[in-house]
Amino acid sequence: MAEVWTPMASANSLWASTATPLRTFPVLSGEVQADVVIIGAGYTGLSAAHHIAKSGLVPVVLEANRPGWGASGRNGGVITAKFRQSFRGIDAAHGRAMAKRMHEIAYESTEIVEELVSEFGITAARLTRTGQVKAAHNHATLKAAIDEAEWMKREMGDAEVRILDAHEVREETGSTAFVGGVLNPGSGGIHPLNYLHGLAEGIAARGVAIYQESPALRIRRENGLSIVETPEGAVRARQVIIATNSYSDLTDATRHMQHTLVPFRSAIIATDRLPHNLAGSLMPSGRTYTETKRMMRWFRMVDDRVIFGGRGAFGKQDSEAAFDALRKAMVGIFPELNDTPLAFKWSGLVGMTLDSMPHIGRLDDHTLFSMGYNGAGVAMSSLMGRYLAAFVRGEQPEVGLLDASRLKVIPFYPLREPAVRMVAGWYQFLDAIGQ
Ligand SMILES: Cc1cc2nc3c(=O)[nH]c(=O)nc-3n(C[C@H](O)[C@H](O)[C@H](O)COP(=O)(O)OP(=O)(O)OC[C@H]3O[C@@H](n4cnc5c(N)ncnc54)[C@H](O)[C@@H]3O)c2cc1C
């Protein structure tokens, strides 16, 4: 008897309410054959499908809900060429050659977003490359940000990075909350769900089969092939790609991957449209912005609304307390928003790893994966799709610290939530006392 699967509703986000329509993909029924079956239709899965199809192979994509239901449809749309580990830290721990390679990969990731947007004509993604300002909330963090920027200029050749004084950051943000900052011109912003929809429509138009509401329930081996079973069908393929990131525990077939990630809830609020004068005075250069606090918060202006993101509730559900904390932080930076109602609040799970780096590669000779983007995955997951295709073709791309062998299972997995709570509490304390 077919197992029953109840698809989950999409996040009630600003992105969902302003998204370009996406066709309804079929539910998989019966058995199909492919060269590669990809589990998960976020950026990782769709980009992998695109690059695999480009190699002349046949991919099939299985999505448990609708494409973009996961983090790819609900993120902040901030595009950055970085990892959670700094390049300077990588240089100190692993040497110059490794730091340079990771730097190249980071830049390649922002380039590929531009390439994909252009290849599929995804104008609705409204990709901008206007840069990101890292705004310092005190002199100690400003000094650290400047040191880092100088090092990046000197050692990694990031010539365009610019130091901003307090006045310039005030002009940039419209806020007096910061003592200075650093501008990274290569970063950008995107409408994340329209980017995802454009990718899905684009690859479907080129003949890639995407099945929605078709979760992988079981993966088994038969005659040297993998059979991925869904409630009403199955895909028979030579290789399987697991692209389920922090939602890997939706079913038993992919749940084991969740043990390598600490899921961390990230939340976003969006205000009502601001009156024209006020909108014009906040973030006039249209960049994206982050703070130097450990419990990092970020913000940007989209369609005259302030979008503000940061840590969400602990555990499986949203909580009003977490959204209230974000609102309070936003008003702390922009007091003029005190009376502005919020139009949208939503959240999603970010996949953190023990070494703060994503990982990609083989689990065995017929299973590949890429995940653990640590909250900076819009660009990186798009790039990992290209690298997954290279692995599928039997190549060994040089992925440095992202190599699958470095992915560690979380020790004491059942204790991950209390551990995250403890670390977050400590960070909040340090931020509060200005350390
Ligand atoms: C609130 C939030 C804000 C963020 N902000 C930013 C940002 O501003 N910039 C940035 O760079 N990154 C950001 N990120 C991170 C970024 O969104 C992710 O790293 C990226 O989208 C991961 O893409 P993915 O394709 O690997 O996973 P996902 O997009 O999560 O896709 C995984 C898919 O797998 C499906 N799935 C799971 N199990 C199964 C199964 N058994 N069978 C079939 N399908 C299955 C899920 O339904 C889901 O659609 C943010 C994340 C969140 C949650």
Question: What are the pLDDT digits (tens) for 379-395?
Answer: 999 999 999 999 999 99
Q: Please give the pLDDT value at position 10.
A: 87
Mean pLDDT of 197-202: 98
Q: Measuring CA to CA, which residue among 187, 223, 174, 184 is closest to residue 77?
A: 187
Considering the chain, tell me which residue range(s) the CATH 3.50.50.60 domain(s) occupy: 1-127+189-261+351-435
Q: Are 231 and 215 in contact (CB under 8 A)?
A: yes
Say whether 364 sits in a helix, a strand or coil: strand
Instruction: Tell me if 353 CB under 6 Å of ligand 1.
Output: no
Judge if the beta carbon of residue 347 lies within 6 A of ligand 1: yes
Instruction: Flag whether pLDDT at 249 surpasses 60.
Output: yes
Lowest-confidence range among 301-315, 333-347, 406-420?
406-420
Instruction: Indicate whether residue 358 lines ligand 1 (CB < 6 A).
Output: no
- Please state the CATH superfamily assignment of the domain spanning residues 128-188+263-350 in this structure: D-Amino Acid Oxidase, subunit A, domain 2 (3.30.9.10)
pLDDT tens per residue, range 264-278: 899 999 999 999 999
Distances in Å between the alpha carbon of 364 and those of 218, 242, 284?
A: 17, 12, 50
CA 358/CA 374 separation, integer angstroms: 7
What contacts 350, CB < 8 A, 6 or more positions away?
Answer: 71, 246, 263, 264, 265, 266, 373, 374, 375, 377
Output the pLDDT for position 295.
Answer: 66
How do residues 203-220 score in pLDDT, each as one tens digit?
999 999 999 999 999 999
Query: Atom of ligand 1 at shortest distance to CA of 249?
Result: 38
Over residues 381-434, the pLDDT tens digits come to 999 999 999 999 999 999 999 999 998 777 655 656 666 665 565 556 555 555
Q: Which residues pair with 34 in a beta bridge?
A: 237
For ligand 1, is residue 43 a contact (CB within 6 Å)?
A: yes
Lowest-pLDDT range of 114-128, 307-321, 352-366: 307-321
Q: Using alpha carbons, select from 390, 399, 398, 400 the residue that is nearest to residue 368.
A: 390
Cβ-Cβ contacts under 8 Å for 11 (sequence gap 6 or more): 73, 74, 346, 347, 348
In which residue ranges of the chain is CATH 3.30.9.10 found? 128-188+263-350
Cα–Cα distances in angstroms (integers) from residue 270 to residues 10, 165, 306, 342, in the given order: 17, 28, 6, 6
As a whole number of angstroms, the distance between CA 119 and CA 399 comes to: 24
pLDDT at 430: 57
57-69 pLDDT, tens digit each? 999 999 999 999 9
**What atom in ligand 1 is closest to the CA of residue 216?**
42
Pocket probe for ligand 1: among 245, 300, 370, the residue whose CB has the most ligand atoms within 8 Å is 245
Which ranges in 69-95 belong to alpha helices (H)?
71-74, 87-94
SS3 of 164, please?
strand
How far does the centroid of ligand 1 lie from the alpha carbon of residue 108, in Å? 20
* Residue 140 pLDDT > 90: yes
Rounded Cα distance between 355 and 130, Å, is 30
**CATH classification of 1-127+189-261+351-435, choosing from 3.90.1720.10, 3.30.70.270, 3.40.50.300, 3.50.50.60?**
3.50.50.60
% of the chain at pLDDT higher than 70: 92
Q: Does pLDDT of 109 surpass 70?
A: yes
Q: Identify the pLDDT of residue 294.
A: 66
- Cβ 211 vs Cβ 57: under 8 Å: no
Q: How far is the CA of 351 from the centre of ligand 1 (A)?
A: 8
Calculate the average pLDDT of the chain.
93
332: number of Cβ within 10 Å = 13
CA of 254, closest atom in ligand 1? 41
